[in-house]
Structure 1
Amino acid sequence: MDTAQQINIQKLQSFGGLLRGAWHSYVERFRVLVGIFVVPAVIILTASLIFLIPGAASKAIGFLLVAVGIVTSFVASLALVYSVFNNAGIGDSYRFGFKNFFSFLWIVILVSLAVLGGFIMLIVPGLIFSIAFSFSVFVFVTEGARGIETLARSAGYVKGYWWPVFWRFLGLGVITSIIALVIGLPSVLLGEAASNIVSFVVNLFVVPFEIMYVCLLYRGLVEIKGGPLAVADPNKKRKLYITSAVVGLVVLMAFLIVTLLIGSLFFRSSLQEAPAGFDFDYQFEQQ
């Protein structure tokens, strides 16, 4: 490693510095950040409590709310990032989130498939990709890049700083896990409903802080690189990312097909072994 690179790496803000900076910004914009994330958090909490009510109707409503909560969580995550970088309010942030939902979802799918493909291709590439692509959404919000270009630019920012970024992510994960464990463990003794409520409170306050922390880490990398990257990784690297995503997609589809086949065979076997006169429809209605 040459001297210039060593100097650059030292410019990346320390873990403690990131925590302090994230906390300061978090407190400063507390109402907006928590206000953005409270919507999906309340929806998912409501779903988890409805699941505790016996009956098929409550289960159906619960699953519907979970689906709505997942979509809203994606929108809220994008809205949080937009709010941090643009100092935007709750309304403007959510408008951006809904408007760009499908572009954001496409990036999430690409990153997930590329990381999955990397793990299939000897595990280590998957770990490398999981860190290299971790700023793809931030590139999308701040630079307007789309699709595979966001992965390439994110990897460009991380290039030469993989280990410093990795340790800073690990440190954040350890801190937030300890907080969740200390606060959440006693609630387990109080029952499932209490545990769900405590989990709701922890996520409501911790997730916006985590996003603020990662935003500051991304800003630090952008400053070190001298601003937005004019040229992303070479085409050869982009082809590698696309190949990894294709491998991930193929493996995922194969897994789903095998799972469906096994489920179908198991169901047929159950039908053949059922005693004569056994009424499946009647049993289902009784449940």
Structure 2
Amino acid sequence: METPENVPAGRGRGNSGLAWLADGWDFYAGMLPRLVPAILAVPLLSVPVYFLADRFGSVWPAYAWMTAVIIPIEAGVALFYIKAARGRESLRDIFYGFSIYFRALAFTLIFSMMLLGGFMLLIVPGILIMLAYSFGEYALVDENLPVRECFLRSAAITQGHRTDLLPVLGLMVLIEVFAPSMIDLGSVKAPSVTFKTGFWDVAGHALKNFVFIPWLNCAAAIAYCRLKDRADRPRLTAADDAGEEAEDQEPPAEE
């Protein structure tokens, strides 16, 4: 079933990086009150990460929290944005990742290792992996697929539009890496939380978590929904044709 045109994932400005960014901003600005739960979920639930690292002087309790809570919540937030783009979001979508916890964890670990290996190989392979498989998590939560099928589905959905995804995914990476943060964990060996209260630290932290990342999540959700509809169209047409052929081959009813 194709997405109706009167929701953010509808046709909009088309399928290109700039079109997704522009439509993503309209999505973010126009539906901001409804997006608040998804916007706040990860930043608020990430607070214990810093507390645990500071309290125990080790990153391992923080990693345990991220594994147990943040990974499934991020999967649920992805589903929330997808369904919001279709006009059908629900608060319980944010917690959906817990119902597919082991697959969400497996996909995150495998994809992270693939990205790490790709970026270690002169960066370009990492970029290609990111563009091809970035919608794997979306396919996991949207279509409830096995982990291996998520990678294959993402590759099929993004086929022919991977360079178009570069502005959206590239901005996500740049903001994650270079945006200032109010909270500094220090070294991995001896983590210690310090708060930075400079204007640019506070402003950058707020803009990253409450404007830029949500906006880009909206753009990515729109891109996923539109590219999925495009990828599904030949399959639906083939299924319809097969049904018509079967009807044509049915023998006439006896009088």
TM range (shorter): 0.5 to 0.7
Residue 107 of structure 1 aligns to a residue in which SS?
helix
Equivalent residue number for residue 209 of structure 2: 204
- The counterpart of 2:40, out of the listed 31, 38, 41, is 38
Distance between the aligned counterparts of 1:197 and 1:153, measured in 2? 39
Aligned pairs for 1:38-187 within 5 A: 38-45=40-47, 47-48=49-50, 58-59=55-56, 64=61, 67-69=64-66, 71-86=68-83, 87-90=88-91, 92-118=92-118, 124-171=124-171, 173=173, 176=175, 180=179
Displacement of 1:65 in angstroms is 5.3
Displacement of 1:131 in angstroms is 1.1
Distance between the aligned counterparts of 1:222 and 1:146, measured in 2? 17
Number of residue pairs aligned between Structure 1 and Structure 2:
207
Equivalent residue number for residue 228 of structure 2: 222
Equivalent residue number for residue 28 of structure 2: 26
Residue 15 of structure 2 aligns to a residue in which SS?
coil
Aligned pairs for 1:276-287 within 5 A: none
Displacement of 1:149 in angstroms is 1.0
Distance between the aligned counterparts of 1:227 and 1:16, measured in 2? 23
Distance between the aligned counterparts of 1:221 and 1:208, measured in 2? 20
Distance between the aligned counterparts of 1:142 and 1:102, measured in 2? 16
Amino acid at match of 1:88: E
Distance between the aligned counterparts of 2:207 and 2:67, measured in 1? 17
Amino acid at match of 1:128: L
Distance between the aligned counterparts of 2:27 and 2:60, measured in 1? 35
Residues 97-134 of structure 1: per-residue CA shift (max 9 Å, x gap): 21112211111222233344555677644432221011
8 Å CA contact 1:79–1:96 kept in 2: the answer is yes
Distance between the aligned counterparts of 1:129 and 1:36, measured in 2? 26
Distance between the aligned counterparts of 1:89 and 1:142, measured in 2? 13
Structure 1 residues 120 and 178, CA, compared in 2 at 3 Å: closer, same or farther?
closer
Displacement of 1:155 in angstroms is 0.9
Distance between the aligned counterparts of 2:41 and 2:168, measured in 1? 29
Is 1:14 the counterpart of 2:13? The answer is no
In structure 2, runs of 5+ residues without a counterpart are 1-12, 183-192, 237-255
Residues 194-215 of structure 1: per-residue CA shift (max 9 Å, x gap): 3576665344313332221111
Residues 224-251 of structure 1: per-residue CA shift (max 9 Å, x gap): 3344868xxxxxxxxxxxxxxxxxxxxx
Displacement of 1:169 in angstroms is 2.6
Q: So what's the TM-score if we normalise by structure 2? A: 0.63
Structure 1 residues 63 and 116, CA, compared in 2 at 3 Å: closer, same or farther?
closer
More helix by share: 1
Amino acid at match of 1:100: I
Q: So what's the TM-score if we normalise by structure 1? A: 0.57
Residue 145 of structure 1 aligns to a residue in which SS?
coil
Residue 195 of structure 2 aligns to a residue in which SS?
helix
**In angstroms, what is the RMSD of aligned CA positions?**
3.8
Distance between the aligned counterparts of 1:178 and 1:113, measured in 2? 18
Residue 46 of structure 2 aligns to a residue in which SS?
helix
